[in-house]
Amino acid sequence: MDVSPQRPLSRRLLLTGLGATAAAASVPGILRVDGAYAAPPGTGGALPDGVFSLGVASGDPLPNGVVLWTRLAPDPLNGGGMPDRPFPVEWEVADDDTFARVVRRGRAVALPQQGHSVHVEVDGLRAGAEYAYRFRAGGRISPVGRTKTAPAGSVAAVRFAFASCQNWQDGYFTAYHHLAGEDLDFVAFLGDYIYESVPRTTTVRTHEGTGEPLSLVQYRNRHAQYRSDPNLQAAHASFPWIVTWDDHEVDNNWADEIPQDPAQQTPEAFRARRQAAFQAYYEHMPLRSGSRPRGLDLQLYRRLRFGDLVDLHVVDTRQYRSDQPATLEQAETQPLTMTGEEQERWLVDGLTDGGTRWNLLANQVMWAQNDRTAGEVDTFDLDNWDGYRVQRRRLLEVFGSDAVNNPVVLTGDRHCTWVADLHPDFDDPSSPVVGAEITGTSISSGGNSDPVAFQNTYQPIAAESPHWKYFDNQRGYVVCDVTPERMLSSLRLLDTVWQPDGATVRTAAEFLVEAGRPGVTVEFAEPRTAQLRAQASRDAGPVYDVDDVDETADLQR
């Protein structure tokens, strides 16, 4: 890699106690008064314990900098609990975990109209380098986070994880405890960061509030509840995150300005809801100021480059899409769009610029054709790319051109792992393989699964779907190792998400994409007996959210 020499940071620095009280004595200007830490003059006044209750995060790494995030929220589930006025927040970045060598520091302002969130765009850093960072406000010191800038120039390897679908009510975020211990350059989150579903007392954990969030305060409270999870906080504090959304950040299966249930939400009411959801999303994500909401819009699709090795194209398949078709005939014939025309042009331009060895898409819903019924009758979820077949074929033909280097689609949403070859025409056996898709499973959505029933359902369909290479419905995340020659993706699965502690993780399968050879092969998969072991018995357990079970999507023949 084209990086400067550096002193390695501790992988566990965020857990070593360099938090509020332990670090306070080392920070200039902090005054100890009667056993507490008071704010020095000019810092806005003292704040209570827990002002950094939502942790810290970083995101969108560039070769010379990253975004640093926090939100001041001493009463997180009640609107945040901050005074209704701006509040100064100091930040610092160091190249050692003791902050003896601070390389950047400054002051930001947490505004009430932004939920007292802070988005600091730090620049002037070294490419491919690790840093520690922290915040100070009102005499309180935040937990310490670790981040890493993107590499530049000739890059030998990039290692990252991707995850999606973390329903608070369906299970614990134990996967993030294990993910935080990985050695990664970044994490890509592919959507469904929160769920807007109503509180249910029959689930593992219960959503805050009394119903679905509709207002800005309600969306802030829902995000704050998710952000309160210690394992999620640890994963955010360990690596920079690159985020995009899917539907549940706003409303199940929303499409542009159309809600899931237009008969129950007027156009005016849904526009107000969308605006509130967008605002709360920005306030809780490590996004740059270019993504700050403007009215009904939030610029989320963007591209991040990792030297000459990887272009990561982050797409938005909700904000600009056509409404879902009602029939398969409409999906096959109408010029429906998942991305909108402007984003499609942006994507094609980025894919064909030839600047990197690999083109990876951070994507929400499945591209590969996914029949849900064995036999002559085909059944599809038309909220996926199966409902937008004209545009899908057009883009997959671009994938197959000589101008696109090694396209791989990384997908969330499905609550299952689904690995497939991509073809412009999935029904034509002679249609060429033009790329690969790795659909990752959920962090918790769907709860503990039943692999026996799942495999019994899909094994017969697999015989009719030769582009499928692997499928499984257990919970976890995916780690990807990319070099100029190949991309190896490892599926990490948990044995349970219904216990807050003690869940183990294992590598259940590995998937290989070789540079210059479109498609994907399964390099390793655990024996069927291991795959079906603990979850095979369907003992009485928590009830899932009804909108979030793997197979509850609207299906069309």
The model's pTM = 0.92
Is the residue at 39 inside a domain?
no
Do 270 and 401 fall within a single domain?
A: yes
Residue 32 domain-assigned?
Answer: no
> Nearest-CA neighbor of 230 among 176, 183, 302?
176
Separation of alpha carbons 24 and 37, rounded Å: 8
State phi, psi for 152 to the nearest 5 degrees. Answer: -130, 160
Q: What is the pLDDT of residue 544?
A: 67
Residue 22 resides in a domain: no
Q: CA of 219: how far to CAs of 79, 169, 258, 297, 532, in Å?
A: 9, 16, 19, 17, 38
Whether residues 163 and 146 share a domain: the answer is: no
For the stretch 124-135, pLDDT in tens is 999 999 999 999
- Per-residue HEC secondary structure of 391-435 comes to HHHHHHHHHCCCCCCCEEEEECCCCCEEEEEECCCCCCCCCCCCE
Residues 306 and 288 in one domain: yes
Reported as a single tens digit per residue, the pLDDT across 195-234 is 999 999 999 999 999 999 999 999 999 999 999 999 999 9
Q: Which of 102, 129, 150 is the last residue of a domain?
A: 150
> What average pLDDT does range 115-123 have in this prediction?
98
Which of 150, 179, 195 marks a domain boundary?
150
Q: Are residues 211 and 131 in the same domain?
A: no
φ, ψ (nearest 5 deg) of residue 441: -80, -175
Of 540, 556, 317, 373, nearest in space to 447 by CA: 540
Residue identified by tokens 């706003």 is 250
* 82 shares its domain with 181: no
- For tokens 């357990």, the residue is 541
In a domain, 496, yes or no: yes
Does residue 252 lie in a domain region?
yes
Give the whole-angstrom CA distance, residue 448 versus residue 426.
31
Q: Which residues contact 271 (CB under 8 A, 6 or more apart)?
A: 257, 296
Residues 170 and 265 in one domain: yes
Same domain, 366 and 505: yes
Tell me the pairing of strands 145-148 and 130-137.
antiparallel
Report which of 359, 384, 363, 360 is spatially closest to residue 372, judged by C-alpha positions.
384
On whether the CB atoms of residues 20 and 140 are closer than 8 A, the answer is: yes
Q: Residue 450: which CATH number?
A: 3.60.21.70
Element (DSSP H or E) covering residue 329: helix 328-333
CATH number of the structural domain spanning residue 85: 2.60.40.380
Q: Kindly state whether residue 322 falls inside one of the protein's structural domains.
A: yes
Q: How many domains does the chain have?
A: 2
Buried residues in 129-167 as b, exposed as e (16+ CB within 10 A): bbbbbbbbbbbbbbbbbbbbbbbbeebeebebbbbbbbb
Q: Are residues 273 and 128 in the same domain?
A: no
Whether 223 contacts 208, CB under 8 Å = no
User: In this predicted structure, which of 30-34, 407-411, 513-517 has the lowest mean pLDDT?
Assistant: 30-34
Residue 18 has pLDDT above 90, yes or no: no
Note whether 503 and 419 are same-domain residues. yes
Please report which residue ranges of 90-191 form alpha helices under DSSP H: 174-179
Residues 467, 368 contacting (CB under 8 angstroms): yes
Cα separation, 549 vs 189, in Å, equals: 20
Domain boundary among 124, 150, 176: 150
Q: Is residue 8 part of a domain?
A: no
Q: Is residue 41 in a domain?
A: no
Nearest to residue 487, comparing CAs of 368, 312, 289? 312
Token pair, residue 135, equals 């915040």
Interval 62-107: pLDDT, tens: 999 999 999 999 999 999 999 999 999 999 999 999 999 999 999 9
All residues at 6 or more sequence positions from 240 whose CB lies less than 8 Å from its CB, including other chains:
58, 59, 60, 61, 66, 67, 147, 148, 186, 187, 286
Q: What is the pLDDT of residue 8?
A: 41
Distance CA 118, CA 116 (A): 7
Strand intervals (E) in 123-193: 130-137, 140-141, 145-148, 158-163, 186-189
Q: Are residues 84 and 225 in the same domain?
A: no
Co-location of 514 and 389 in the same domain: yes
- Contact present, 3 and 95 (Cβ < 8 Å): no
Beta strands at 476-482 and 435-439: parallel, antiparallel or unpaired: unpaired
Residue range of the domain that includes 58? 47-150
* Residues 460, 407 share a domain: yes
The predicted-structure confidence for 334-365, as pLDDT tens digits, reads as follows: 999 999 999 999 999 999 999 999 999 999 99
